[in-house]
Amino acid sequence: MLFSTNYLEEGTTTLLTYPFAMQVILLAVIPPLVEELIFRGIFFGSYRKAGMTGAALMSGLLFGCFHLNINQALYAFVMGIVFAYMVEATGSLWSSVIAHFAVNTYSIGIVQLLKMAGMYTADGQVSGVAESEAELAASTGTLTTVIQMIILAVVAAAFMMLAIVCIKTMAKRHGNLEKIRFSGIRLSHIKNYFTAPVVVGIVICVMYMITLELAGTL
């Protein structure tokens, strides 16, 4: 991975050996239903009373920590915020469930294409071809890293622009445009976000991720 080892991805490689339909059920149907119910249904719904912006940020923060991996935590944080605004824009939890399903299905589809291209073996392991290309990329040093960063930045910017347009369109259609406007975060509301159980949970998740990274360097 670009920033750190994705241990969660390594732990789920066996799922790549399952039939495609089973992969979709296990990775693209069940997780979105459960995770959206928890993070956008329960957490976001509870925090929403203290303000939209803070609720969306907390929803993303907890969603990112839940993934227990630095790589996934970073983009899950952003995705969590986007999903929260989608729920607010449409007034329905199903909007984030469908979006979450689409993202996970896309990831599965990419892996299937990589398997067809010989980047993954039948048992879900990285093939020799992929390892050779990774070693070649690593040998080119800083230039490759810069190019990767630029590509990621462009993709991220395009995604955010598309997400903003989609959210505003949905909000306007459902008459919720005013609800999604940036409202700021009041200092008096911070204590409502960071309760003792939440702080303890976040600290445990962060310490776990740091421990994984340190263990991987030994």
**Confidence check: pLDDT of 179 > 70:** yes
Q: How far apart are CA 102 and CA 27, in angstroms?
A: 11
Model confidence pLDDT, tens digit, residues 153-164: 888 888 889 999
**Confidence check: pLDDT of 180 > 60:** yes
Q: In this structure, is residue 1 part of a structural domain?
A: no
Cβ-contact 115, 16 below 8 angstroms: yes
Q: First vs last Cα of the chain: how many Å apart?
A: 17
- With cut-offs at 50, 70 and 90, classify the pLDDT of residue 112: confident
Average pLDDT estimate for 177-184: 82
Average pLDDT estimate for 15-41: 89
Which of 12-16, 36-40, 50-54, 104-108 has the weakest average pLDDT?
12-16
**What integer best gives the mean pLDDT of the chain?**
81
Please, which residues have CB within 8 angstroms of residue 156's CB and are 6 or more apart in sequence?
A: 78
Q: In this structure, is residue 3 part of a structural domain?
A: no
Q: In this structure, is residue 52 part of a structural domain?
A: yes
Q: For residue 81, how many other CB atoms are within 10 A of its CB?
A: 22
- With cut-offs at 50, 70 and 90, classify the pLDDT of residue 61: very high
Instruction: Tell me what pLDDT residue 75 has.
Output: 87
Total number of domains constituting the chain? 1
**Confidence check: pLDDT of 62 > 90:** yes
**Whole domain around residue 125: which residue ranges?**
8-217
Q: How far apart are CA 133 and CA 188, in angstroms?
A: 52
**Locus of tokens 């920033």:** 3
Q: In this structure, is residue 127 part of a structural domain?
A: yes
**Confidence check: pLDDT of 1 > 50:** no
Q: In this structure, is residue 137 part of a structural domain?
A: yes
